[in-house]
Amino acid sequence: MTATTDGSTGAALPPRAAAASETALTVPVAAGVQEAAARATQRATDFLLARQDAEGWWKGDLETNVTMDAEDLLLRQFLGIRDEATTRATALFVRGEQREDGTWATFYGGPPDLSATVEAYVALRLAGDEPDAPHMARASAWIRDQGGIAAARVFTRIWLALFGWWKWEDLPELPPELLFFPRWFPLSIYNFGCWARQTIVPLTVVSAKRPVRPAPFPLDELHTDPANPNPPRPLAPVNSWDGLFQRLDKVVRGYRRVAVRRLRRAALNSAARWIVERQENDGCWGGIQPPAVYSVIALHLLGYDLGHPVMRAGLRSLDRYAVWREDGARMIEACQSPVWDTCLATIALADAGVPADHPQLVKAADWMLGEQVVRPGDWSVRRPQLPPGGWAFEFHNDNYPDIDDTAEVVLALRRVAHHDPERMDRAIARGVRWNLGMQSKNGAWGAFDVDNTSPFPDRLPFCDFGEVIDPPSADVTAHVVEMLAVEGLSHDPRTRRGITWLLAEQEPEGSWFGRWGVNYVYGTGSVVPALTAAGLSPRHPAIRRAVAWLERVQNDDGGWGEDLRSYRDPVRWSGRGASTASQTAWALMALLAAGERDSQAVERGVAWLAATQREDGSWDEPYFTGTGFPWDFSINYHLYRQVFPLTALGRYLHGEPFSKKPAPHAVSVEAEGS
């Protein structure tokens, strides 16, 4: 193993990946690969079918990092509801994620992260771990060496300010009057991505109220100089965007002192209404944990007691993010992905040869049909005349259906022979119409909103927690183009605009950037199947460049992998990393779509998947191959390691989906605003 200058695992294969690679080399590449693929496909199919819920859905664990767990404990401490059993189980998980140097990372094998380490340390202090314990002393020493609490991100310092461990005066200001900005204004809340919008609105209340609960202990050991814990941060040059927004923050701080009380009160009331109106039926907000946490805090500060129905439902929803492990540890999911997992599992099983009328596929289709969102949400601010019809990612998230899920659900439904085809066609037509109506003006698609591309939200000093806007991306656009092609709309002008955008976005070496998966392997694995489904010849220059790139970055063991560092350093890390099951599958899906089934690269990749499969039909994948915010927030979807290899193996054995029969045609659809 090699080490990089940041102290993290380098480009050499980690021990677990190396062991898997040695196993892979025992499978003959040219001889017997088809038989090995057939055996692996059958085992993977059995494994996946056995894990379907009785209601028809699949859901794998969604693993992120320990800030979710630490903030859950801090919330409970703030509300006065922290209990010993929850604290003990959370601490068990957090301790288990600590590395030998005392730090925590935000993804497996990644570099130490200051904010994650600060929050994990505080969580363990809440659990009773003493500062002089060896594991705690290592953590605090590293934190001080990195600049202490003062160098942590804004969100970490907000959590500490709730208990007086940081001064509110030394945090960027975020006034609730932000809600009154008109929709055309560059800093309107609707110029933020939906995940940021749901977080920022409740945080305007927190910023206005500046609450402080008694701290249960001091944190002097996390400051480089306890006598001066809040050193001033240097200002960026006045002629830079960062410098401008830093100085704008000073103006906003001054406004706090002169804010008209009636206006401030009206803004807080508007924030409360906005939050309550967006609470989902199960009590959560947007189906994701961070907005739920901040919404509960904001409403509590506005006078909602813990017995209020809104608060009771919100707190119950937070408990549903907890995953209890066999060792008694408790892990918090940032969100849950049943719709996404179910459509991907359906595609995988169908492409692997499970009959289209198999009862479990029909049950999955029934469940997905019941999850279609049929009422307007925040997306309708920019598309007020567009009828609803999308699908969301989570169990309950009617406010924020997303374009990616909608495209993949349609692709999944088209693989099922349902007993009510008219119902299927109606649902699919609504989904196709909604996706077409959500096309951005450049011809591409973002994940949740239309033309969510303002450069200003990212510049706010408050927004240092990751991506806060939702511009179109190659992977989402590719999934929509593939879906439109399957629906017989390859030659529709809107589809052709999407194809033109994708071709223009190809990187010089032949890959595509992956916004929602890691990274260039994911982007390329999404785009190539879409382009060929839409009619581009496998001999098209863009397809040949992609094939050449995938062949160049294939690992010696036959698999593919890519480290998250490619988001920061694409020159060194694009397409490079330890082989993983999901990323190998993405590469194979692209190569198979490009007509490379009999190539040595495909045979070696299929052999690697077959050899690294466990006896129970699953694959091991500790690496994070999903993306929340590029680099800043990474995801290990525990079902990715299962559904994508099965899809790739199925396509290797049975050919590309829909290639043997005419594509079905959805009913006529028209898009508003495209």
Give DSSP secondary structure letters for 428-481. HHHHHHHHHHT--TTS---SSSSSB--SSGGGSTT--SS---B---HHHHHHHH
Q: Rounded to an integer, what distance in angstroms lies between the CA atom of residue 16 and that of residue 3?
A: 16
Inside any domain, residue 672:
no
Clarify whether residues 53 and 83 are in a common domain: no
Q: Mean pLDDT across the chain, nearest whole number?
A: 91
Q: In the predicted model, is pLDDT for residue 443 greater than 60?
A: yes
pLDDT tens per residue across span 534-566: 999 999 999 999 999 999 999 999 999 999 999
Provide the domain limits for residue 176.
Answer: 65-304
CA atoms within 13 A on the CB side of 65: 31
Inside any domain, residue 553:
yes
Inside any domain, residue 422:
yes
Q: In the predicted model, is pLDDT for residue 3 greater than 60?
A: no
Least confident of 5-19, 47-61, 310-324, 498-512: 5-19
Give the CATH number, domain containing residue 73: 1.50.10.20
Clarify whether residues 636 and 500 are in a common domain: yes
Inside any domain, residue 322:
no
Q: Give 392 or 455, the one with higher predicted confidence.
A: 392
Inside any domain, residue 37:
yes
Clarify whether residues 242 and 360 are in a common domain: no
Inside any domain, residue 22:
no
CB–CB of 432/410 below 8 Å?
A: yes
Domains contained in the chain, number: 2
Chain-centroid distance of CA 227 in Å reads 40
| Amino acid code (one letter) for 547 | V
Q: Rounded to an integer, what distance in angstroms lies between the CA atom of residue 87 and that of residue 73?
A: 7
Q: What is the pLDDT at residue 238?
A: 63
pLDDT tens per residue across span 174-231: 899 999 999 888 889 999 999 999 999 999 999 999 999 999 999 999 999 888 877 7
Domain-ending residue, one of 304, 324, 357:
304
Q: What is the pLDDT at residue 4?
A: 40
Least confident of 4-18, 313-327, 401-415, 503-517: 4-18
Clarify whether residues 372 and 511 are in a common domain: yes
Neighbours of 649 (CB within 10 A): 29
Q: What is the mean pLDDT of residues 497-514?
A: 98
pLDDT tens per residue across span 358-370: 999 999 999 999 9
Look at the block and give the residue holding tokens 């567009």.
386
Look at the block and give the residue holding tokens 């693929």.
37
pLDDT tens per residue across span 95-107: 999 999 999 999 9
Q: What is the pLDDT at residue 672?
A: 40
Closest CA to 529 of 435, 345, 660, 657: 657
CB–CB of 666/674 below 8 Å?
A: no
Q: What is the pLDDT at residue 242?
A: 61
Q: In the predicted model, is pLDDT for residue 19 greater than 60?
A: no
Clarify whether residues 513 and 479 are in a common domain: yes
Q: What is the pLDDT at residue 674?
A: 38
Q: What is the pLDDT at residue 247?
A: 59
Report residue 252's pLDDT band, with 50, 70 and 90 as the boundaries. Answer: low
Q: What is the pLDDT at residue 6?
A: 41
Neighbours of 395 (CB within 10 A): 19
Structure tokens at 440: 């951005």
Inside any domain, residue 625:
yes
Local structure of residue 40 (DSSP, 8 states): H
Q: Rounded to an integer, what distance in angstroms lies between the CA atom of residue 221 and that of residue 591?
A: 53
Report residue 86's pLDDT band, with 50, 70 and 90 as the boundaries. Answer: very high
Q: What is the mean pLDDT of residues 132-136?
A: 98
Clarify whether residues 161 and 273 are in a common domain: yes
Neighbours of 131 (CB within 10 A): 17
Inside any domain, residue 407:
yes
Q: In the predicted model, is pLDDT for residue 263 greater than 50?
A: yes
Clarify whether residues 407 and 290 are in a common domain: no
CB–CB of 584/648 below 8 Å?
A: yes
Clarify whether residues 505 and 405 are in a common domain: yes
Closest CA to 643 of 67, 130, 48, 179: 48
Clarify whether residues 138 and 189 are in a common domain: yes
* Residues carrying an active site annotation: 404
Report residue 323's pLDDT band, with 50, 70 and 90 as the boundaries. Answer: very high
Phi and psi torsions of 155, nearest 5°: -60, -40
Q: In the predicted model, is pLDDT for residue 496 greater than 60?
A: yes
Whole-number percent of the chain with pLDDT over 90? 82
Q: What is the mean pLDDT of residues 639-652?
A: 98
Q: In the predicted model, is pLDDT for residue 662 greater than 60?
A: no
Clarify whether residues 383 and 289 are in a common domain: no
| Amino acid code (one letter) for 541 | P
**Cα dist. 428→392, 411, 417, 530 in Å?**
14, 9, 14, 18
Clarify whether residues 283 and 385 are in a common domain: no
Clarify whether residues 154 and 262 are in a common domain: yes
